[in-house]
Amino acid sequence: MSLDRSNFDKISDVLADSVGGALDALSPILGADITAQTQSAQIHTIKDTDYSAVSPALYFNIVFVGDISGKAVAVFREIDLAVILKLLMNSDSDEIEFDEMGLGMIKEIMSQVSNKLASKLGEFFAVDASASISALMEFSGNDAVAGIFGGKELSECASVNVKYEVGTILKGRAMFSFDEMLVNNLSKYYEIVNDENTQQQLTAAANGQSTAAMPRKRQQQPAAPSVNNGQRANVNSPALNISPSSFPRFDVADDDGVGMPGNMDLLMEVPMNVCIEIGKTKKKMKEIMNFSQGTIIPIDKQAGAPVDITVNGQLIARGDVIVIDDNFGVRITELVNSKNNGIGS
């Protein structure tokens, strides 16, 4: 297999924007704003790819599944991951060890970064994509990348350099390399997108219609402008504009719903999940990691306030907690929006 260069000038921008957007997944976990600048992807042989800017480093490999398949290697500087781990552990120590627990914590957040990367690529081409990652390992250089990508150092890959900032706490660097299979798959989907748009224009011309009025199922947006000597600002919006489809209008039955009594009888036998919620709260990961037996967690509900009753996630009522024999129960004191949900009628 060889890397398809026919559409790479477009694919390189997609990869760069997706990597920058994927790092946004760190923001809610670390409780800080994330800004990222990426350079357009560059093609090199694995042997000639320069990882010196991110060394010494830890790395993990990403396997993409779904409509987009292929592999990637993500390389992060050790010094940057140590700062991230300190934030996660709420530690003031200057000495951070990448032990089993620490590596597991970093793997968890990098899994979210990788899934967001897959999601960004999927959004661009309007296809399904997800990702799974390996454990983090010490980066031994280009040999490690070659081993993941098939063992051939002369094979080509596409790499994206990224500089990112975590609030005012960290200025980090990382590098993502993508194998030939992934790049070729993206090139294939890029051609499909363009073929669909071209076919719409030809059909409109044959029918004497203006192509400007034709709906576009998927349409590539202009590439983001380059700034700062080839660095690209993170673009969060997908590069495709998906227009709403038109459907014929169907008459709606009267509100009394008497048209299909048999079907209603069937629906009445469908089991529903009823949940009683006393309250909830939000905590940062570093606070959760400090949970232990005896930890008290305040929630957003005052003592004596009625509890929420939900059905399949929808709030339908509130009530008071009671004790029935040896079990808890709830006495409904208020129906929520009963006119629309049909309860209590």
What is the token pair recorded at 306? 């009625």
Distance of alpha carbon 112 from alpha carbon 74, whole angstroms? 13
Distance of alpha carbon 208 from alpha carbon 328, whole angstroms? 70
Q: Of 72, 36, 253, 39, give the one whose Cα is nearest residue 165.
A: 36
Query: SS3 for 112?
Result: helix
Per-residue confidence in pLDDT tens, the chain, 345 aa: 678 788 888 889 999 999 999 999 999 888 889 999 999 999 999 999 999 999 999 999 999 998 889 999 999 999 999 999 888 887 777 777 888 888 888 999 999 999 999 999 999 888 889 999 999 999 999 999 999 998 788 899 999 999 999 999 999 999 999 999 999 999 888 888 776 555 555 555 555 554 444 444 444 444 444 444 445 555 444 445 555 555 555 555 554 444 455 555 666 777 888 899 888 888 877 778 788 888 888 888 888 889 999 887 788 999 998 888 888 889 999 998 755 555 655
The sign of the CA dihedral 115, 116, 122, 125 is negative
**The CATH number, out of the four listed (1.10.260.40, 3.30.1660.40, 3.40.50.1820, 2.30.330.10), of the domain defined by the range 270-339:** 2.30.330.10
DSSP assignment of 231-243: EEE---S-SB--P
Q: Is domain 8-186 annotated with CATH 3.90.1150.10?
A: no
Q: Is 306 exposed, middle or buried, given 0-12, 13-18 or 19+ CB atoms closer than 10 A?
A: middle
**CA end-to-end span of the chain:** 66
Q: Does residue 229 come out as left (phi exceeding 0), alpha (psi in the -120 to 50 range) or beta?
A: left
Estimate the crossing angle of helix 100-125 against helix 180-206, to 10 degrees.
20
Q: Where are the domains of the chain?
A: 8-186, 270-339
Q: Of 197, 330, 334, 224, give the one whose Cα is nearest residue 276.
A: 330
Q: How many CA atoms lie within 13 A of 292 on its CB side?
A: 1
Q: Of 120, 137, 167, 130, give the one whose Cα is nearest residue 26.
A: 167
Distance of alpha carbon 199 from alpha carbon 185, whole angstroms? 21
